[in-house]
Amino acid sequence: MSLKTEEELRASFHAFSNHESNRITKDSLKKWCSKHSVSTAHIEEFIKKFDDNRDKEVDFYEFVRYYLREDIEKEFKQYDLNGDGMITRQEIMTVLRRMGIQNQQELQSAAYALMKSVDDNSDGFISYPEFADHFVKQNYSFKS
């Protein structure tokens, strides 16, 4: 899958969303299904797939994260060298070294800065949801 433009992603999102709350809800999906004569049988499954924070609604960032999941997963795996689902500062340094940064001070500084900007809960690891959120924000300068 290739990265989509903001316009394409917003158009897709707004087709399903409640324009007042700017979220996709069960009701907004029911309205879309009714308007397009589509079965409502998969609404629960749709919400479950997209709803990362489990608030039973889908915001724009959740929509983009799911829509671009293949791109994000591929990028995440490049940093998650041991495949445990978490990125450590050491893994970041290893990847940066492979990218050509050899100076130890530069490596540590860059790894620290990246960890600080992506590790939202400050647990010393970058989880997939943290990475995905950062990926979306870095690759798209969307207004929420």
Q: Tens digits of per-residue pLDDT, 47-60? A: 998 888 899 999 98
pLDDT tier, 1 (very low <50, low <70, confident <90, very high otherwise): very low
Number of Cβ within 10 Å of residue 84's Cβ equals 10
What confidence score (pLDDT) does residue 141 get? 58
Note whether residue 144 is domain-resident: no
Tell whether 83 and 57 lie within a shared domain: no
* Residue 122 included in any domain: yes
**Which runs of E-coded beta strand occur in the chain?**
86-87, 126-127
Q: Which of 37, 67, 97 is the last residue of a domain?
A: 67
Average pLDDT of the chain, as a whole number: 89
Picking from 17-21, 75-79, 99-103, 115-119, which range would have the lowest pLDDT averaged per residue? Answer: 17-21
Q: What CATH number has the domain bearing residue 20? A: 1.10.238.10
Residues spanned by the domain of 39: 6-67
Q: Which two tokens stand for residue 7?
A: 């316009």
Please give the sequence-ordered ranges of beta strands (E in DSSP) within 25-134, or none if there are none. 86-87, 126-127
Is position 97 within any domain? yes
Residue 48 to residues 18, 51, 53, 66, 76: CA-CA distances in angstroms? 17, 5, 10, 11, 22
Query: Has residue 43 been placed in a domain?
Result: yes
Flag whether the pTM goes above 0.75.
Answer: no
Q: Which amino acid is at 4?
A: K
